[in-house]
Structure 1
Amino acid sequence: MRILAPLLLLLAAALPAHAQVPAYPSAFKTQEIATNGTTLHVRIGGSGPAVLLLHGYGETGDMWAPLADTLMRDHTVVVPDLRGMGLSAVATGGYDKKNQAADMIALLDGLKIAKADVVAHDIGNMVAYALAEQNQARVTKLVLIDAPVPGIGPWEEVLKNPILWHFRFGGPDMERLVAGRERIYLDRFWNDFSADPKHFDEASRAHYAALYARPGNMHAGFAQFAAFDQDAIDNRALLARFGKLPMPVLALGGEKSFGDQMAAIMRTAATNVTGGVVPGSGHWIMEENPAATVKLVTDFLGAK
């Protein structure tokens, strides 16, 4: 045994370390905050002007750790898990993005935050747009990353793309099909929407699959998509009522995903749009090219 132990230690040292999902800095605190009839799991850290980070489907607020690490140097960073997702409470309803925008306003009110920059990805874009349209004086800058917004720009054409079949996939029968097979279902997203599936590593896949396998979380995910028809109706009405967004908007697309289409889409709903492309990345910008994503976002937020 005395001979075997050193050999095992040498073998362990020679093996490659398993990749880990990036952790938030220890200065970040987590809170469960009651808001708009539900409870959100929220990470809060840093000091200075506020920035709200909103995640998308297939991930949780954990995706933003590298960006939060940089922003906390001169911002108060607020990162919730969206309604019913991650470690937030599973709500029975309210998954339309107009209502989830109300979740965010109640969250900011509870934290005594009057104004904030908002950075969003995927489903988070849709919540962020509804938030910004209804609260134009409270959203100082807006970053939308690699996903269209229901009812905005060429939305009906986007819906025809066969790769987006999951927009119409949901309901109790679909939930039964996926139950116990969450990893199989989610791998499809991580593989098909990556420039290179290897960039969404095994540690990240296992981490998010375990969160989505929690009771009720796949139901909440399907509900996010099932609300798209109502979201499109709501967004067209918001645009007609409040007009184009006046705040500076950064519309980023992954080079191998939406690319510069993001800017074209958002120019139909905002007056001050800066376009940008995350090089070498598909949809999963924080896994595929976090360094470029962090620089593009922080440069925009820091610009006068």
Structure 2
Amino acid sequence: MLRSLIGAAAALAFALPAMAEVPPYPAGFRTQAVEVDGATIHVRIGGQGPAVLMIHGYGETGDMWAPLAAALASDHTVIAPDLRGMGLSSKPEGGYDKRTQAGDMARVLDALGVQRADLVTHDIGNMVGYAFAAQYPARVTRFVLMDAPVPGIGPWEEILKNPLLWHFRFGGPDMERLVAGRERIYLDRFWNEFSADPRRFDEASREHYARLYAQPGAMRAGFAQFAAFDQDAIDNRAFLARGELTMPVLAIGGGASFGTTMADVMRFAATNVDGAVIANSGHWLMEEQPEATVAAIVAFLGRH
């Protein structure tokens, strides 16, 4: 069980000065700043056809989705925001509970004139995505979640006992000072320990994301994402009490991370769940095994 729970352990190129390279989004993608309640959300948009909303997690930004965007843009409108507090989105003092951030995603879709979308999420993006799907089920056509638990759903309390998840409770008045100027050291812990092979999370990506997380307010916002988990669990139990999700769900786990546990978790919250395991991958599926991960997602979206 411990092993299965995370080991069981361009878009920005046209917005920032030259820096370490990460896979670029396809030509023709644009960015837009969308005002939501209390924040400004940086969004990448491109492609054509039915919409796909992609929500990233901690230690990355919407840049992580570039390989999937390239695979989908010919027949999907791809929407890839940075969550509030992360990447090029603003970093307000509050609003990091996932119910509020789901509202951010709804406002993004509203601003783009999109009523319904497929939902593809990873890590903290799973938590925002679940809150979105639970509050706005008519707006979600299909839902893909990747390799992270959802607060309050299934074996959440057991998952919290995993020592690899120490960062969920890392808090207090000195936490920002402890990592100031050491953001790369802090983030390397996650990129290394949650990978099947840390070399697959390459140096260019590490430099890229470390620079973004060193922006003023970014680490504070990241800690706030974790500090909100207790409230998220309360909110999610209330959502689940209203009924399970009924749209098709694909729950993907890394073979050296959540594995089949990802689907087990989602079967507590949804009635139509398929599972998939990406071999030779830890938590960072889009970096460690991008081709296999993209293939699994594209097949699921096409099959349904």
Is the TM-score greater than 0.5?
A: yes
Residue 19 of structure 1: CA displacement?
8.3
Judge which range, 53-62 or 20-29, deviates more.
20-29
- 1:170 is paired with a residue of what secondary structure? coil
Distance 2:282 2:297 in 1: 17
Distance 2:77 2:20 in 1: 28
The percent identity for this pair of structures is: 71
Residue 278 of structure 1: CA displacement?
1.0
Match of 2:89 in 1: 88
Residue 170 of structure 1: CA displacement?
2.3
1:76 matches 2:61:
no
Distance 1:59 1:192 in 2: 15
1:253 matches 2:253:
yes
Residue 202 of structure 1: CA displacement?
0.6
Match of 1:206 in 2: 207
Match of 1:157 in 2: 158
Match of 1:244 in 2: 244
Code of the aligned partner of 1:26:
A
TM-score between both structures, scaled by the size of structure 1: 0.93
Match of 1:265 in 2: 265
Q: What does 1:90-239 align with in structure 2 at a 5 Å threshold? A: 90-239=91-240
Match of 2:278 in 1: 278
Residue 35 of structure 1: CA displacement?
1.4
Judge which range, 135-144 or 18-27, deviates more.
18-27
Structure 2 unmatched runs, 5+: 1-18
TM-score between both structures, scaled by the size of structure 2: 0.93
Kindly indicate whether the alpha-carbon contact (under 8 Å) linking 1:52 and 1:119 is maintained by their aligned counterparts in 2: yes
Residue 37 of structure 1: CA displacement?
2.2
- Of structures 1 and 2, the one with the larger relative CO (CA 8 A, separation 6+) is 2
Judge which range, 36-45 or 225-234, deviates more.
36-45
Q: What does 1:40-79 align with in structure 2 at a 5 Å threshold? A: 40-79=41-80
Structure 1 or 2, whichever has the larger Rg, is 1
Distance 1:157 1:223 in 2: 22
Match of 1:15 in 2: none
Distance 1:125 1:273 in 2: 15
Kindly indicate whether the alpha-carbon contact (under 8 Å) linking 2:151 and 2:236 is maintained by their aligned counterparts in 1: yes
Please give the root-mean-square deviation of Cα atoms over the aligned residues, in Å.
Answer: 1.1
Residue 171 of structure 1: CA displacement?
3.4
Q: Which runs of 4+ in 1 moved over 2 A?
A: none
Match of 1:3 in 2: none
Distance 1:20 1:254 in 2: 25
Structure 1 unmatched runs, 5+: 1-17
Kindly indicate whether the alpha-carbon contact (under 8 Å) linking 1:171 and 1:222 is maintained by their aligned counterparts in 2: no
Count of residues paired in the alignment: 286
